[in-house]
Amino acid sequence: MAAADRGRARAGVVALFAGESGTGKTLGAEVVAGELGLDLYVVDLSAVVDKYVGETEKNLERIFAEVDRTDCVLLFDEADAVFGKRSEVKSSHDRYANLENAFLLQRLEAFDGIAVLTTNLRANIDEAFTRRLDLVVDFPFPDPEQRVSLWRSCLAGTPKAADVDEEIARCAGEFELAGGAIRSAAVTAGYLAAARARR
């Protein structure tokens, strides 16, 4: 975790959560909102980015205006889709894509709420955005010991077979899975066991 270099003081907080898929970035944003007693406003970027010139900015402005009226945490999931590196201008499309980025930079400067950006590819985030971040949190891929803890956590409160600890250790060692994948596997295993009336 690192504090980013801030260009000027502002009331809001903008953080980047970076890490591989399934390492807990979105869950981390949910925890932040929960700890603050605020709702989490998740931005569906596929509904925001528009191929028509100027529409993406209008969509983003509507989102920021709504968030300004409410007290919530704003989450841009997979933020590199809109906060990506600006490209060399070779076509009118490049020029308008860079204008979208400039609009976002300006809007973030004026934003006085809490925003969390998540990305699987930190290197794809434009440096102009990273300079405006207050906080960068890296979500590392779990090591075998952490995977054991994740398996145990996901299976807590469920009826387990006597040899489950051995199986957890084996799974954590053999399968390099992130927390999201471990949770999915545990839920699937639970349904399969329940269907067979087994632990």
pLDDT of residue 10 exceeding 90, the answer is no
In this structure, what are the phi and psi dihedrals at residue 36, rounded to the nearest 5 degrees?
-90, -5
> Which of these ranges, 17-26, 94-103, 131-140, has the smallest mean pLDDT?
94-103
Q: Is the pLDDT of residue 11 over 80?
A: no
Residue in the block written with tokens 């590392």: 140
Measured distance CA(80)–CA(23) in Å, rounded: 17
Distant-in-sequence, close-in-space partners of 26: CB < 8 Å, separation ≥ 6: 75, 77, 118
pLDDT value, residue 9:
55
Q: What is the per-residue pLDDT for 59?
A: 80
* CA angle (116, 117, 119) in 5-degree steps: 145
pLDDT the model gives residue 51: 67
The pLDDT, as a whole number, for residue 63 is: 83
172: pLDDT confidence band, cut at 50, 70 and 90? very high
User: pLDDT by residue (tens digit) across 145-160?
Assistant: 999 999 999 998 888 8
Domains and CATH numbers, the chain: 2-139 (3.40.50.300), 144-195 (no CATH)
The predicted-structure confidence for 84-128, as pLDDT tens digits, reads as follows 554 444 544 444 455 566 777 777 777 888 989 898 887 777 777
Q: What is the pLDDT of residues 33-88, one digit of tens each?
A: 999 999 999 987 767 776 666 777 788 888 888 887 888 899 988 777 666 554 44
How far is residue 79's CA from residue 141's CA, in Å, rounded to a whole number?
A: 19
